[in-house]
Structure 1
Amino acid sequence: MTDTSVAAFRAAPGPGARTRVWDLPTRLFHWALAIAVVGMIGTGLNGAMEWHFRIGYTVLALLLFRLLWGFMGGRWSRFGAFVYGPGSLAAYLRGRAHPDHLIGHTPLGALSVFAVLAILVLQVATGLMADDEISASGPLTRFVSGEIVGMATGWHKAQGKWIVIALASLHVLAVLFYVLIKRHRLVRPMVSGDKLVPSESGQVAPSRDDAASRWLALVLFALCAGVAWWISSLRV
């Protein structure tokens, strides 16, 4: 039986049908980014700048990959699957969630995802242009004006750093709240890829997670890693 057939079988209708929601590339991205962000924060706070840069380039490659995978990945990993309007968010907060909200990201979870991705993009971008005038300067500092370097450095070392820490902490607390208080299984699906979909959701299309999509993800990540390496090579 092929991976696609297995996913379709898991999505068969019935009470609590198991559905492949998170494809393997998305799961690997999620855990790799979590580890990299912790490493980036730790090395930054401890002044281990060479490792801070290395991990920063890794985060850059991961973010570039997620941007592409948001359009080419599995059904529930695509941005179109969790871009919600104000009405959907209001309904969810009032306890009138749409069945789709119980499958992929909820409207509140989607806001958290986009906020984390946006602040990480900004933090990495400013890091590439930052210069502490002592021992560390980003690879793009020589391509921008001194004024931009100053603003990027100030943001990266002050507001940006603490916003990243705050959002990462809030994300962990939100997961703990849903797991411990609301009894929603959020961690296991991000490990196995499968989620128990309520019967009221009806027939749910699973995310594609076959060999072809995984090879595509590998090629895309290799390209993104190449871009990150090229940017790192500009550092003098």
Structure 2
Amino acid sequence: MPELDLSDDELLRYSRHILLDEIGIEGQTRLASATALIVGLGGLGSPAALYLASAGVGRLVLADADKVELSNLQRQIVHRQDTVGQLKVDSARQTLAGANSLVEVVALPERLAGDALHAAVASADVVLDCSDNFPTRHAVNRACVATATPLVSGAAVRFDGQFAVFDPRQADSPCYRCLFAEEGDVSDGPCATFGVFAPLVGIIGAMQAAEALKLLIGMGGAPLGRLLTLDLRSHEWRSLRFAKDPACPVCAQLASL
């Protein structure tokens, strides 16, 4: 990603980031030059998009085919009561423009698949999978592996959340398919059926934004090969380690090339 010079306004806006040794002016300029793709503008994508925009990621690409519904407002904080009925990507773009007009927001009102998904992933420096179904997650994972694009994955239902980071640029990093088979249930439970505790998606979505920012500035420390799960009833975190599957049909062949 080409680096841009920061204006005086940007130096002031992002001063609390710049004060951090791990970020500084160099890291903040990397963010300004970066592109992040967010797949899904629901409960997870909402806080993730807000934090990435506020942090100064230069270009955000938002992909979602759905429209805002009244029942979304309990947890999807990027949308507002006066945007009910609008496409989620348009609703989110309006909110993000109000949060940081310096960020370019590209709205893709579609359920990305095939060549369109591959092109969107290839143009991004990091992908945040904020979708709510396994077919989409596996499709995004395949595109990330094929283009060597880092992937930050989140999921949440009821009071239970999970989070993982995958970096196909590293030969020993497992992919999403190494962890979850494509066979079986096509969803981990829609919110309309099982419900979801509103702050849970905020926690997981904020974690996705945090790891995406770390990846973009080259900070290191991503929890590769670990699935982090949260039970918010007891606020208990668990970290489950998993390794790259040598027989993975998605990433094993590419790793041997």
TM-score normalised by the chain length of structure 2: 0.25
Structure whose alpha-carbon radius of gyration is higher:
1
Higher relative contact order structure (alpha carbons within 8 Å, sequence separation ≥ 6): 1
Between structures 1 and 2, the one with greater strand share: 2
- TM-score between the two structures when normalised by the length of structure 1: 0.26
Structure whose residues are more often helix by fraction? 1
